[in-house]
With several copies, the nearest count.
Chain A
């Protein structure tokens, strides 16, 4: 092997080794949870931090929304179909906020004076899925699902 060839081989080898090592590390990293994002079930189990702000995501429970008459304050329950956590918020809600809709709330847990922790949200964001369809199609889908005895997620 000429010196230049050997140098090239060395270069290629080192790049392959480096890239391989990096990929392995990434694969391991992606297996772990990296975000301050909790489901109501995790919060109920006490996994969520107490003093730090975090995000909680889930569905707004049907019929749980209570609006105050004189202010923008609102209270509702959030569920992941395992556990339910009560959320309090004061502010304007996004258009997409409605019962049965997925939302993400940013805020802190408050444990004062209540036996069940209440989530005090500083921000409520609507999280919709990636499905787009006309209302009629959605209705039709609903009906056919209902006919088959399923519920919409």
Chain B
């Protein structure tokens, strides 16, 4: 009588996407944030195009990290406050479905839009054009990992009010490898090296994250919910 796993997953993703549409502009938020960062940095540094171009990759990747991080503290919060997570837990469906569904919809609403608008930011920051494809590839391989790891931390802190910065503290160290390899790939390309090694590492991290993090997220959700 109960729905199968695939159906449940679909229903949950459907809900997330519908909510993202309803809460108008939520989709646009990480984008706006990155836009502002790319605007603020030139202002703070003074517009030396060469200097700017040299640090463009850094700005875009650090910006993306921070943008994703900022979405995390709200990722499960409202579901917890209105009792929806509690209901999911009592539903008997495996929590790992919740974790997978939310990771996926989170990427769709943050990583993907960032990826799509990156060419614009890059040209704004005078990034040399031949680096664009590598940058995009690094984002394609890196942002899913950000969503997957971010979900663990969001789940761990779901029982804590005002968790914004705790989330940052917990998640950014875990994001360091992604950042290193992603920026490393583009910098290697810029220095005339092959970016392949870095990209392969990114892919490896993504695969590992995809297989392991949902379990951690599910466990974290169960534990956090039973804490009060």
Q: Using Cβ atoms and an 8 Å threshold, which residues of chain A touch B47?
A: 106
- Rounded to whole angstroms, the CA-CA distance of A123 and B51 in the bound complex is 12
Q: Using Cβ atoms and an 8 Å threshold, which residues of chain B touch A49?
A: 190-192
Q: Which of A21, A25, A34, A122 contacts B188 (CB 8 A)?
A: A34
**In this assembly, does A33 line the interface, its C-beta being within 8 Å of a C-beta of chain B?**
yes
A36 touches B193 (CB 8 A): yes
- Rounded to whole angstroms, the CA-CA distance of A2 and B50 in the bound complex is 64
- Rounded to whole angstroms, the CA-CA distance of A33 and B47 in the bound complex is 17
Distance between A65 CB and nearest chain B CB, rounded to angstroms: 23
Q: A28-B200, A29-B200, A34-B184 are in contact. Are A53 and B46 (CB under 8 A)?
A: yes
Within 8 A of B (CB), among A45-63: 47-49, 52-54
- Rounded to whole angstroms, the CA-CA distance of A123 and B47 in the bound complex is 11
Tier of interface size on chain B: 20 to 34
Which of B25-33, B153-161, B208-216 binds A?
B208-216
Q: Using Cβ atoms and an 8 Å threshold, which residues of chain A touch B205?
A: 22
B48 touches A19 (CB 8 A): no
B48 touches A34 (CB 8 A): no
- Rounded to whole angstroms, the CA-CA distance of A14 and B207 in the bound complex is 11
Q: Using Cβ atoms and an 8 Å threshold, which residues of chain B touch A26?
A: 200-201, 204
Which A-chain residue is minimally distant from B5 (CB atoms)?
A7
Within 8 A of B (CB), among A1-60: 14-15, 17-19, 21-26, 28-34, 36, 47-49, 52-54
Q: A18-B211, A21-B207 are in contact. Are A36 and B200 (CB under 8 A)?
A: no
Distance between B202 CB and nearest chain A CB, rounded to angstroms: 9
Q: Using Cβ atoms and an 8 Å threshold, which residues of chain A touch B191?
A: 36, 49, 52, 54
Give 5 nearest A-B pairs by CB, closest first.
A18-B211, A32-B197, A25-B204, A29-B200, A22-B208
Q: Using Cβ atoms and an 8 Å threshold, which residues of chain B touch A34?
A: 184, 188, 197-198, 201
A18 touches B49 (CB 8 A): no
Q: Using Cβ atoms and an 8 Å threshold, which residues of chain A touch B51?
A: 53
Q: A15-B212, A32-B196 are in contact. Are A22 and B204 (CB under 8 A)?
A: yes
Q: Using Cβ atoms and an 8 Å threshold, which residues of chain A touch B212?
A: 15, 18
Number of interface residues of A (CB under 8 A): 28
Distance between A123 CB and nearest chain B CB, rounded to angstroms: 6
Which B-chain residue is minimally distant from A17 (CB atoms)?
B211
B211 touches A15 (CB 8 A): yes
Q: Using Cβ atoms and an 8 Å threshold, which residues of chain B touch A32?
A: 194, 196-197, 200
**In this assembly, does B147 line the interface, its C-beta being within 8 Å of a C-beta of chain A?**
no
A22 touches B192 (CB 8 A): no
**In this assembly, does B217 line the interface, its C-beta being within 8 Å of a C-beta of chain A?**
no
User: Can you identify 10 A-B contacts, CB atoms within 8 angstroms?
Assistant: A18-B212, A21-B207, A29-B196, A29-B204, A30-B197, A32-B196, A33-B194, A34-B201, A53-B50, A106-B49
A25 touches B200 (CB 8 A): yes
Which B-chain residue is minimally distant from A16 (CB atoms)?
B211
- Write the B35-51 contact mask toward A (1 if CB under 8 angstroms, else 0): 00000000000111111
